[in-house]
Amino acid sequence: MLISGGSRGIGLCIARRAARDGANVVICAKTTTPHPTLPGTIGEAVAEVERVGGRGLGCVVDVRDEATIAAAVAEAVAAFGGIDVLINCASAIFPTETENIDVKRLNLMWEVTTRAPLLMAKHCVPYLKASAAAGRHPHIITCSPPVDFLNWPAPNNPNYLVCKMGMTVGTLALGEELRVAGVGANTLWPAGSIATSAINHLMGNNADAIDGYFMTNARTPEIQVRGRGAKRSVLWGVERVRGACAGSVCGVGSVCGVWSVCGVGSVCGVGSVSSVGSVYGA
């Protein structure tokens, strides 16, 4: 399993959950030394993967730089023999009113959020196809919202939403393109807000502000890998789900196990959060 944005937040939660089932997990991220306000480094994420039972590999990747993506994929294949699952979790978030759009930040969101999943897929697809041929039910999962123009996901600022919707449409189109090869591609999105370290960072790591915003409608990143029941988890040990490869639930495989996907292209799981400000040490 190769995860972009795997050193913190949702990406790290997915990595940790997969590792509990003994997965080989490749952490692709930029942070090699501690950030002053954002938790998590590549080395810490790899250590956590191995602590809970998986095998970890850390790769320094800037998803805006295709060369670093290609190098990480090559390193992953050399270490583990192939790639069965690609998780696109890297994202940039700078929502603002249209009249206040900053072009530099808009371009950053597009490069990290919309373009990067396609570049990640570009370099992983040959190995995902090989995985399909071997019967391992490979999959691409992208953390992005459902295409629902009646119930807009939050934040719904145009500068942010156009990038996230592009992320979704690109992934679902990948599913159609790769269907004949047996490679699934779907999106994963929770109900409500997720209290990630990136959001806390945007809010100045102010405990009162974070609690005030999140306490009534937010969940911790762990909700992406935990639902009401075991079979509704994003990743759940050795259950094989077979089905269509795009726009619906698909089998997800790895060299160490097979998991099922929940909430594909729509709501995932239900949970609650308590004391967000204290959880994230604002």
The 10 Å Cβ neighbour count of residue 2 is: 30
Instruction: Please count the helices (runs of H) and the strands (runs of E) in the chain.
Output: 9, 11
Active site residue 160: yes
Query: Residue type for 14, please?
Result: I
Could you tell me the CA-to-CA distances from 62 to 38, 88, 110, 111, 213 in Å, in that order?
A: 17, 13, 14, 10, 30
Reading the block at residue 94, the tokens are 């700078």
Catalytic residue among 127, 160, 213, 280: 160
d(CA 136, CA 131) in angstroms, rounded, equals 5
d(CA 114, CA 60) in angstroms, rounded, equals 20
Q: What angle is formed at CA 267 by the lines to CA 159 and CA 118, rounded to 5 degrees?
A: 50
Residue whose tokens read 């730089």: 65
Cis preceding-peptide flag for 146 (omega within 30 of 0): no
Query: Residue type for 75, please?
Result: E
**Sign of the CA dihedral 129, 86, 111, 263?**
positive
Burial class, 266, CB count within 10 angstroms (exposed 0-12 / middle 13-18 / buried 19+): middle
**In this structure, are residues 70 and 123 in contact, taking their beta carbons and an 8 Å threshold?**
yes
The 10 Å Cβ neighbour count of residue 20 is: 15
The DSSP H or E segment spanning 24 is: strand 24-29
Catalytic residues: 160
